[in-house]
Amino acid sequence: MSLTQDEMPQRAVVQFNCTGQAVGKMRNELDVRMVKPFEERFELATDEGAFHGGDASAPPPLALFVGGLAGCLMTQIRAFAKRLDVTISDLKVDVRVQWDWEAKGRVYETAPKSFEIDVFLDSQDPLDAQLNLIQAAKKGCFIEQTLGQSNSIRHRIRHEGEWMSID
């Protein structure tokens, strides 16, 4: 069941859960569920190419990540344009994400280097209205807001029936 904007409370927790199952060489089948404030479900897959021994049968996780960032911002721009009375004739974004990659023996380590988003907005409305729209969309994009903050991610492993934290 989906809610309209008018049916949403003033504040809410938005929660997605994902269960992934390894299948094939490097393919992962993902069951992604929005569980709050309403329910939606999506089935996705990731795979890797030859570098990691996969078959490239689905996009790699980083492609979904970058695509998610682009799609999130574009969705917010279009949704908020209606609410802010900004007319859009056309919209395009170009997203560039870079990570540093460093070999560490038989594995590697990564670190984010840059996130750049170019917005091509075709609108006859004043520049101030367009800039306000993009600012609002940036603040409403869950992925962009996550990337802009320092986050802690907790990992656990199940061992002998008990959950153990991985530091």
Specify the pLDDT at position 104: 94
Q: Is residue 35 part of a domain?
A: yes
Residue 157 falls within a domain, yes or no?
no
pLDDT tens, residue by residue, 15-65 = 999 999 999 899 999 999 999 988 999 999 999 998 888 999 999 999 999
For residues 40 and 95, state if they share a domain.
Answer: no
**Which pLDDT tens digit goes with each residue over 112-147?**
999 999 999 999 999 999 999 999 999 999 999 999
Q: How many domains does the chain have?
A: 2
Domain residues for the domain of 104 are 60-151
- C-alpha distances (whole Å) from 128 to each of 30, 104, 142, 146 are 41, 48, 23, 26
The maximal CA–CA distance of the chain, rounded, in angstroms, is 63
Domain membership flag for residue 25: yes
Same domain, 45 and 79: no
**In a shared domain, residues 84 and 37:** no
pLDDT at site 3: 66
Same domain for 118 and 144, yes or no, is yes
Give the residue from 33, 97, 20, 29 showing the smallest Cα distance to 57: 29
Establish if 166 belongs to a structural domain. Answer: no
Any domain includes 37: yes
pTM summary value: 0.87
At residue 24, the pLDDT reads 86
d(CA 3, CA 5): 7
**Shared domain check, 68 and 54:** no
Identify the domain boundary among 16, 44, 59: 59
Residues with Cβ within 8 Å of 51's Cβ and at least 6 positions away in sequence, in order, are: none
| In a shared domain, residues 40 and 116 | no
Query: Does the structure show a pLDDT above 70 at 80?
Result: yes
* 3-state SS string for 39-99: CEEEEEEECCCHHHCCCCCCCCHHHHHHHHHHHHHHHHHHHHHHHCCCCCCEEEEEEEEEE
For residues 64 and 124, state if they share a domain. yes
